[in-house]
Amino acid sequence: MTTGSSTYTLGLAGAIGHDPAAALFRDGELIAAVEEERLTRRRHARGEMPYHAARQCLQIAGIRASEINRIAIPYSPISLFDAARWHYARRHWYAPDRSLDCLLNGNRRYRRYLRRLRGLLAQLHIAPEQAPILPVKHQLAHAASAYLLNEPGEKTAIFCNDVKGEYSNMLFAVGEEGRIRKRKEFHNPDSLCGMYAALTDYLGFEILDGELRVMGIAPLGDPGRYDLSPLASCRRGRLRVNNKLIGTVGLRRYKARSRGHYFSQKLVELLGPRRVGNLVDDPYLHYAAAIQRLYEDLALQLLEHHLGDVLAETGVLAVAGTGAMNLRLNQRLANWDKVKRLIVHPACSDSGTAIGAAAHVIRAEGKKLAPVNNLLLGPAYASSECIAACRNHRDKPRWEALDDPHGKAVELLAAGELVGWFRGALEFGQRSLGNRCVLAHPQQKNVSELINSQLKFREIKRPFAAAVRASAAGELLEGRQADPWRSIGVNIAEDWRQRYPHIAYEDGSTRVQVVEAGRFPDFHRLLTRFERETGHPLLISTSMSRPGEALVCSPEHAIELFVNSGLKYLILEDLLVTRRPEEDSW
């Protein structure tokens, strides 16, 4: 329950046009955070405002809209005298309409967003005089999300690696005593993420999701077979993207079937036709490996130049922005001899800026935030709601109440079955962290084929992530990082790789969530029980979602996924959901 003395700060993301979300702080404590896509079931919720997410946050907190004191947004007007607008105009001279619009009407998108935001607040019954709107620059919101939630005591190097904000796409900054000071900012089109996105587009994938697929298949290719250095250069800490090839606008864009792409005809002449066939064919597989290598190399060069002194002093590095979803870059940073501690915000995409904008507003008042132990901050559901969802679904799946859901899950997993696992509050961020996941025995034969045929439909050579008890992580993992968020790529020790061949690439790299009892008590209980029964301290764990869909949120969503996939068993809070006999022949 609320008290009259509490201050409620509502952060709202989505100004860039995708990944709208809401986050709610009570004084300095993050008490709720929800992504709009999880509620509307539209991946990235493009073009939408976080209406449902904001309402859900209010419901979780148990407060009325009239109790919100202020609104923090991760988007800010940019002055004509700011270097960002002049840089953008100069680099897009070949499209004079873009250049002139930037100089003469450079805050057009901000004003348009502000109108939509006011409409949203009216829908939520939040009065303007009650809750002022406080703009925070987009990259600063990203920086705050990584640095402030569990604020380090040491001076911290901050790297925000993003596709775009107002005009800025990369920020190198220093965090100290809760203050974030800019060292260097880069502006469109000179963007590491933009470079990677352009190659993602060229390789035949949709931007925002396709980058992860490119990263996922990169270990299967040879990064030295083709030279992609013409795409971008870095000299004396200055990144310059070759926008004759990528990051193009206007007439420079390559067009196919009336659709413009983020690269030019000259790139096609240099590399060959845009991929339309098998991704693992030459040269496309090797292009994926080469862009990953170039991306990592340029990132380290820029970090060395702009933040090398801070890293030499303390070795603490925080990363955020869409580019921080690249686990392989994070792995390289974590193992860089200059980095002693790597902080990756688990909601590093634009949804996380809802948290970051609100956190920045609170910390700017001199208030330190309460440490955030986990991001299980969304809605939770009672077993009675799960029963109602089963009864109301058109396919009427069978269900039975369980006295021991953990024991039943272990029994099924030990028998080689896939198990949907839906328990507790919804996760916030890009990864499922044990509350909305599909689990498998780590030694199950043909487990990748099983998961792909029933749910994921990935390239067959891509391994799946694992979740391991913290007590076993030291033996399993090579390197210094034990990541609870599954946001840093890791290498598996050779003997463990032979024991569990389905969770790692041939080079030994994979994604592992290190599960501590204090952070994820329910999931840790399941892993403990599984180890006691089978001797294995880990499970294969993948998100409870199908390709192109958002992570499930409610029991209704989970049942809909269940009946439309090949899964046979779903643990839904304290229920076991199974198929009717006529459905068993998937």
- Tell me what pLDDT residue 459 has: 61
pLDDT in tens, 422-435: 999 999 998 899 99
Per-residue confidence of the chain (586 residues) as pLDDT tens digits?
A: 344 589 999 999 999 999 999 999 999 999 999 999 999 999 999 999 999 999 999 999 999 999 999 999 999 999 999 999 999 999 999 999 999 999 999 999 999 999 999 999 999 999 999 999 999 999 999 999 999 999 999 999 999 999 989 999 999 999 999 999 999 999 999 999 999 999 999 999 999 999 999 999 999 999 999 999 999 999 999 999 999 999 999 999 999 888 999 999 999 999 999 998 777 778 999 999 999 999 999 999 999 999 999 999 999 999 999 999 999 999 999 999 999 999 998 899 999 999 999 999 999 999 999 999 999 999 999 999 999 999 999 999 999 999 999 999 999 999 999 999 999 999 999 889 999 999 999 998 888 888 888 887 766 677 889 999 999 998 888 766 678 999 999 999 899 999 998 898 888 888 999 999 999 999 999 999 999 999 999 999 999 998 889 999 999 999 999 999 989 999 999 999 999 876 554 4
How many angstroms separate the CA atoms of 150 and 509, rounded?
Answer: 27
Within this chain, domains 8-138+353-364 and 383-583 share the same CATH topology = no
On whether the 8-138+353-364 domain is CATH 3.30.420.40, my answer is yes
The burial of 371, by beta-carbon neighbours within 10 Å (0-12 exposed, 13-18 middle, 19 or more buried), is given as exposed
If residue 2 lies in a helix (H) or strand (E), which one and from where to where?
none
* Encoded amino acid at 144, one letter: A
Ranges of each domain in the chain: 8-138+353-364, 150-344, 383-583
Fold of 150-344: Nucleotidyltransferase; domain 5 (3.30.420)
- Identify the CATH homologous superfamily for domain 383-583: Carbamoyltransferase, C-terminal domain (3.90.870.20)
The angle that helices 192-202 and 284-313 make with each other, rounded to 10 degrees, is: 170
And the tokens for 376? 């299980």
Spatial distance between the Cα atoms of 192 and 157, rounded to a whole number of angstroms = 18
The whole-number pLDDT of residue 282 equals 87
With vertex at residue 579, the alpha carbon angle to CA 576 and CA 585, rounded to the nearest 5 degrees, is: 145
- If one counts every other C-beta atom within 10 angstroms of the C-beta of residue 300, the result is 16
Q: How far apart are CA 139 and CA 172, in angstroms?
A: 10
How far, in Å, CA of 367 to CA of 75, rounded? Answer: 22
Q: Write out pLDDT tens, residues 540-566.
A: 999 999 888 999 999 999 999 999 998
pTM reported for the whole predicted model = 0.95
Biggest distance spanned by C-alpha atoms of the chain: 69
pLDDT, tens digit, 9 for 90 and up, residues 179-195: 999 999 999 999 999 99
Question: Is 61 in contact with 425 (CB distance < 8 Å)?
Answer: no
